[in-house]
Amino acid sequence: MKIGIIICDRYKSCAGGKCFRALKNREGAFDRYGADEEVEIVGYTSCGGCPGGNIEYAPQEMIDNGAEVIHLATGLVVGYPPCPRILPFKRFIEEKYHISVVIGTHPIPQKYFITHQNLNTWRSTEWASIIKPTLGTEDLRKKYD
């Protein structure tokens, strides 16, 4: 499986450590890939900053490099405020490029989970669905703090 990862531009200098660790361990949204399944990252970039200008172009480069799925990184979910365009990004990429988009990469760190719970950020049914692939257990979230 060849994947591309798009991160939030707020974290554009992120080295990807949590994403790469989660991929190696098949944790968070990467638990969908079997332990024996070969997974290769063929693209890693930011959204380009609000309102996400890179969303229009980066998926094509990833596809040209063999991407079969694109992950919108967990940072788009846990940053404050969470990206209000995450679902439109997903819909746009799937519609324009005919490629599956997964929301999330590494598990949500526990410190972010607590903050967003206290702020009621993710109380809606829509956000419950968005965070589900990266929610994990409390023990797993603590490993990503």
Domain ranges for the chain: 2-143
Q: How confident is the model at residue 145 (pLDDT cuts 50, 70, 90)?
A: very high
Cβ neighbours of residue 122 closer than 8 Å, sequence gap 6 or more? 82, 116, 128, 130, 131
pLDDT tens sequence across 39-75:
999 999 999 999 999 999 999 999 999 999 999 999 9
- CATH 3.90.1570 corresponds to the domain 2-143: no
- Distance between CA atoms of 1 and 137, rounded to whole angstroms? 26
Supply the pTM of this predicted model: 0.95
For the stretch 81-93, pLDDT in tens is 999 999 999 999 9
